[in-house]
Structure formats: structure tokens, C-alpha cells
Amino acid sequence: MRARRFGRIVNIASIGGKIAFPHLLPYSASKFALVGYSQGLRVEMLKYNVLVTTVCPGLMRTGSPRNADFTGQNEKEYAWFKISDSIPVGSIGAKAAAHKIIRALSYGDAEAHLGLSARIGSIAQGLAPGLTADALGLVDKYMLPSPVPGKPELQKGSESESEVTQSALTQLTRDAETANNQT
């Protein structure tokens, strides 16, 4: 790319690389690193007309929650994740995300935030990082499951199913499981 003085690079990070979410600190740390690397790479490659696009999707309906690892109160953690993954305005389907990634890459956009929740979250973090962190702290304190004492056992989402995760609230995620061969 440098030799021909043209190119496009896309790095798929996450909104977790812009906002630190409770219960996902190792994940967020790795995504923050990728966002920083991508921004720096874009700066260094501009002189060669090589554009780097950093993609920060929010929740994507891929059907993957069933294969994710959960600890602690795994049934409650899994229910939060699977229900959030199924909210139409809070998550984005894989095909829609792919189209947006290709568009951003074609135009050479510096960043692409996929899904309404990712766009709003990124704006909130940029405008009021302290307020965003405090709000997420309140969500953690009052809405998310508490940690359990000792070393909790690691379980897959598929091992953490409950009535709630098999209800109409999670239909979009279950449809994505089938469509994307996650079952």
C-alpha cells in the first residue's frame, strides 16, 4: 500500500473501545488499545494515501451470546446480555453492519459507530466522559448482578438459559443464532 501510495485498512474494535462498560474491563481495555492503535496508524499512513478506518459497533445481533463466557451470577449476566442484544434500536443486525463497514471503508472514514446505541454512547463519552462513567457506575450498582464470593465457575451462555432468555424478549437474538449457525 505504501509503495503504490493507496490503500484502505479497517480495524474492527467495539464501542467498548470508546466507553468502559461494567463487567467487561479486560474486553474494554483490549478494545481501547485497538482504537488507539488505529488512530495512530491512520495518522502515520495518511502521507501514503492509506486510510485507516476504525469500526466501533455496539451490540450486534449475530447470535453469539450463547457462545460467550459468563461467570458469577451467570444466568442473570447472560439474560442482561441476550435481552440487550435483542433490542432493535439498541443492536444492529450483521448484514446492516457489514453494509455500513463497507461504506465507511469506501469513503475512508476515520471512524464508524454501528448502531444507535454506539453512536449515542460515543457522543456522550466525547461530550461528558465523567457523567457517562458515573451513569454506567449507577447501572452497575443498581441494575447489574452483584459479584459472587470465591472463584466463580465459567459457563457458556447456552448453559445459562432461563425462561427469560427463551422468551419473546430475545426472539431477534434467537433468529440470529439460526441465521448465523450459532446453534
Residue 97 has pLDDT above 90, yes or no: yes
Model confidence over 15-60: pLDDT tens digits?
A: 999 999 999 999 999 999 999 999 999 999 999 999 999 999 999 9
Residue 139 has pLDDT above 90, yes or no: yes
27 is catalytic: yes
**Residue where the block lists cell 495518511:** 46
**Residue where the block lists cell 446492516:** 96
* CATH architecture under which domain 7-179 falls: 3-Layer(aba) Sandwich (3.40)
Question: What pLDDT, on a 0 to 100 scale, did the predictor assign at position 148?
Answer: 86
**What mean pLDDT is predicted for residues 152-157?**
90
Task: Single out the residue of 169, 166, 145 nearest to residue 71, CA to CA.
Answer: 145
Contact 70, 154 (CB under 8 A): yes
Question: What pLDDT, on a 0 to 100 scale, did the predictor assign at position 82?
Answer: 95
Question: What pLDDT, on a 0 to 100 scale, did the predictor assign at position 110?
Answer: 98
Q: Are strands 7-12 and 50-57 parallel, antiparallel or unpaired?
A: parallel
Question: What pLDDT, on a 0 to 100 scale, did the predictor assign at position 89?
Answer: 85
Task: Single out the residue of 8, 2, 38, 4 nearest to residue 103, CA to CA.
Answer: 8
Which of helix, strand or coil describes residue 70?
strand
Entry pTM: 0.89
Question: What pLDDT, on a 0 to 100 scale, did the predictor assign at position 150?
Answer: 84
Of 121 and 89, which is predicted with more confidence?
A: 121
All three cell numbers of 161: 438459559
Q: What is the dihedral sign for C-alpha 82, 100, 31, 132?
A: negative
Q: Residue 118 CB: number of other CB atoms within 10 A? A: 25
